[in-house]
Amino acid sequence: MSDSKNEYCPAKLDLGKATMEKITSLAKRRGFVFQSSEIYGGQNGAWDYGPLGIELKNRIAQTWWKEMTQLHDEIVGLDAAILMHPRTWEASGHVENFTDPLVDCKKCKTRFRADQIPAENLAAKKCPECSGELTDTRKFNLMFKTHIGPAEDTASIIYLRPETAQGIYVNYKNIIQSNRMKIPFGIAQIGKAFRNEIVTKNFIFRTCEFEQMEMQFFVKPGTDVEWFNEWKKRRWAYYEKLGVRMDHLRWHQHGPDELAHYAKDAYDIEYLFPMGWRELEGVHNRSDYDLSRHTQYSGKDLQYIDQDNSGERYIPYIIETSAGLTRNVLMILCDAYDEEQVAPEKQPGSSEENISTGNPGTADDWRTVLRFHPAIAPVTVAVFPLMKKDGLAELAQDIRKELKENFATDYDQAGAIGRRYRRQDETGTPFCVTVDYQSKDDGTVTLRYRDSMEQVRVHRTELVERIRKEIKEYKRIK
Ligand code: ATP
């Protein structure tokens, strides 16, 4: 961990504001996200999740999973393979339609998505970067193709799945039979997806390898509109529960030119990222398209037989909720990011009013803080001994051991205490416990809150219950 003098002093420009540069730099500095294969110059469109990043990603995934499966009796989970029979992608329409329009500049060799450059440049075939001549627009399929088995011929072509949804559709009958599911019911899945994106930028927002959290809900035709509205409501409430700033979320309904040919209705939940409003999750009414196509391509009867209704048969409609897990990680980082001017903090266990963070000048007065909901923070509680000596370090380690069974913990004994608080603020740790001389006498410690910086004296035996309660009742204050 770097401990430079300016560590806590945010960049002078855009003070107090989350920018992609600040998020990217903090993510690397603190071990959330690293560029893939960085020592070789990096691999475009791929990122590695470091020690804090994997904790954050896992917690977001667990929160979603709990919401979808544990809290919904009618939804079950699945983990389907990434490699699927190639016919799947013919049935789904991906072989034919999963394309982006592409143009290249003949002079500077930059590649663009034709729908993302100014219309006048496209019409004049003029490169927006160097004014060189652009090629004709051509369709570019986003699926990664490879071969299975030793022969590299057309018979051995296989795709890396571009979405997790198809793994659910092809298993829908298996799940009905094995788990006696009755419509309406859902199948949830979290997993990797791959897209050969032409333009990957904005850090982990759009990447070639990413993770999705998808839930496909199977309903009786005619009840689809009602269920679609219900799932819109539920997904909105989910982000509210996660503690996201709701004024940074909005709905965007797909217009006729955006709506996929099979979709009856589609809304995106958009988040106000530093680069503007962008899609975070889609809620789609996919009609009976998917199961009809798989019936047609597989030759298997995928109708639902309603045993409770005289054996009535129909192809279910599907309501899809499809969120990017890695895009959610970026959203949570942006949403949590804050910089603020603060007064120096009180020395735990001392009559002294204030302590210095160990930094000279105005850097003392600023902090960068990630205001994660405590339930998803990578580290829930950090334990510090005020001093390394006099048995305080051993006592602090002992208290950490008690907390470990219940929470993700960290331990830090390096540097001034104020500096240690700032380090934890920057990684979003909601609670810090400081062990001092009084702790040796009466077993009490200082519990310090990340958001308010308030410090309270608590007996070590009360810590677990207290922190649990705080997590449960957490309300973001800023
Ligand atoms: P976009 O318009 O951003 O390309 P999409 O409409 O193609 O996305 P869907 O196919 O609906 O996206 O995928 C569902 C979710 O998966 C998106 O809302 C997004 O969160 C995530 N996602 C899609 N493509 C990517 C990508 N290349 N990198 C990271 N996340 C992605």
- Same domain for 106 and 228, yes or no, is no
User: What average pLDDT does this structure show over 37-45?
Assistant: 95
Backbone angles phi, psi at 206, to 5 degrees: -125, 115
Predicted confidence (pLDDT) per residue in 222-277, tens digit: 999 999 999 999 999 999 999 999 999 999 999 988 888 889 999 999 999 999 99
CB-count burial class (<10 Å; 0-12, 13-18, 19+) for 405: exposed
| pLDDT of res. 3 | 36
Q: What is the CATH number of the domain that holds 33?
A: 3.30.930.10
Q: Which residue has the tokens 């699926």?
A: 143
Q: What share of the chain has pLDDT > 90, as a percent? A: 83
Q: Is residue 10 a part of any domain in this protein? A: no
Q: Is residue 7 a part of any domain in this protein? A: no
- Same domain for 132 and 193, yes or no, is no
Predicted confidence (pLDDT) per residue in 153-180, tens digit: 888 999 999 999 999 999 999 999 999 9
- Pocket lining: 166 vs ligand 1, CB cutoff 6 Å: no
Q: Is residue 281 a part of any domain in this protein? A: yes
Q: Is residue 261 a part of any domain in this protein? A: yes
pLDDT(221) > 60: yes
pTM of the model: 0.92
pLDDT(346) > 90: no
CA–centroid distance, 400 to ligand 1, in Å, is 40
Cα–Cα distance measured from residue 316 to residue 218, given in angstroms and rounded to the nearest whole number: 6
- Same domain for 234 and 363, yes or no, is no
- Pocket lining: 280 vs ligand 1, CB cutoff 6 Å: yes
- Pocket lining: 282 vs ligand 1, CB cutoff 6 Å: yes
Q: Look at residues 334, 367, 388 and tell me which one is the last residue of a structural domain.
A: 334
- Same domain for 321 and 299, yes or no, is yes
- Same domain for 205 and 279, yes or no, is yes
- Same domain for 444 and 387, yes or no, is yes
Q: Is residue 220 a part of any domain in this protein? A: yes
| pLDDT of res. 262 | 86
CA–centroid distance, 406 to ligand 1, in Å, is 35
Q: Whose CA is nearest to atom 4 of ligand 1?
A: 206
Q: Is residue 1 a part of any domain in this protein? A: no
Q: Is residue 426 a part of any domain in this protein? A: yes
pLDDT(355) > 60: no
| pLDDT of res. 300 | 97
Banded pLDDT at 151 (limits 50, 70, 90): confident
- Pocket lining: 210 vs ligand 1, CB cutoff 6 Å: yes
Banded pLDDT at 14 (limits 50, 70, 90): low
- Same domain for 110 and 215, yes or no, is no
Q: Whose CA is nearest to atom 2 of ligand 1?
A: 279
Domain hosting 130: range is 99-141
- Same domain for 181 and 281, yes or no, is yes
Q: What is the CATH number of the domain that holds 419?
A: 3.40.50.800
Q: How far apart are the first and last CA of the chain?
A: 27
Number of domains into which the chain is organized: 3
Q: Which of 19-28, 212-221, 344-353, 448-457 has the lowest mean pLDDT?
A: 344-353
pLDDT(351) > 90: no
- Same domain for 295 and 376, yes or no, is no
- Same domain for 304 and 353, yes or no, is no
DSSP H or E stretch at residue 434: strand 431-435
- Same domain for 224 and 291, yes or no, is yes
Which DSSP state fits 311? T
Token pair belonging to 167: 């793994």
Q: Is residue 3 a part of any domain in this protein? A: no
- Same domain for 112 and 212, yes or no, is no
